[in-house]
Amino acid sequence: MTKKVAISQSNYIPWKGYFDLIASVDVFVLYDDMQYTKRDWRNRNKIQTANGPQWLTIPVDVKGKYYQKINETLVAEQSWRRKHWAAICQNYSKAPYFKSYEEIFKNLYLESSETSLSKINYEFLKAICNILGIDTKLVFSDEFELVDGKSERLLGVCKDLNADIYLSGPAAKDYLDVELFSKEGITVEWMEYGNYPEYSQQYSPFEHYVTVLDLIFNEGSNARDYMRVLDEA
């Protein structure tokens, strides 16, 4: 049997495509020893509201020009938990399946005091994977001995995991040295997003690029039917 691996930075309550990527592989590596980037998906995502998409952002401490890794990034204060949960309740309490998952997410927001952004993201990713029936193994990149070079580092992780296939997001086409992987007997495949069917979203116009929580609260156990990889499983 072939072994397929994907490597990506952790995101906060990501969109459904992120979970399709996780579901497509045997091992998903959270690439959180990379540099933290501002105004990115590491610490924020969107929910759908009656007034359109709304950002939920975890406030974090950023140390100026210092090269700060994602797994070194800490939350600035804990009031974000109460604020995010209040926003989710306000906009999804009337969604068909909100009550089915309310306790899970209420606990994640209000019962945790975790301050590491990377670990917070991991807690949400694990819970959502469980809801969606995704059993892919999640590991952190700092568990590996990383080498220099963008492609070389990714290749090294794949080799350590005895991967046969590396599944990459399309953005890496600009820099990934596919030939380097080929020489090591590892095939590079590209994740394709798009052609997602619309579901019964509460508010219009329909918006695909919001947190997967929107899909879960609106479709419940049918959420898999609206995700490309999970629907094929």
Three-state DSSP class for residue 25: coil
Query: Are 169 and 14 a contacting pair, CB within 8 Å?
Result: no
Query: From residue 78, how far is each of 110, 126, 152, 213 by CA, in Å?
Result: 10, 21, 38, 21
List 46's β-bridge partners, or say none.
55
Model pTM? 0.95
- Tell me what pLDDT residue 16 has: 97
Pairing of strands 44-49, 52-57: antiparallel
Query: Are 4 and 24 a contacting pair, CB within 8 Å?
Result: yes
At a CB cut-off of 8 Å and minimum separation 6, what does 180 contact? 151, 152, 155
- Residue-wise pLDDT tens digits, 89-111: 999 999 999 999 999 999 999 99
- Residue-wise pLDDT tens digits, 165-181: 999 999 999 999 999 99
C-alpha to C-alpha distance for 161 and 13, rounded to whole angstroms: 26
Q: Is a pLDDT exceeding 60 seen at residue 188? A: yes
Q: How open is the CA angle 201-203-207, to the nearest 5 degrees?
A: 65
C-alpha to C-alpha distance for 100 and 118, rounded to whole angstroms: 27
Residue ranges of domains in the chain = 4-232
Query: Are 210 and 52 a contacting pair, CB within 8 Å?
Result: no
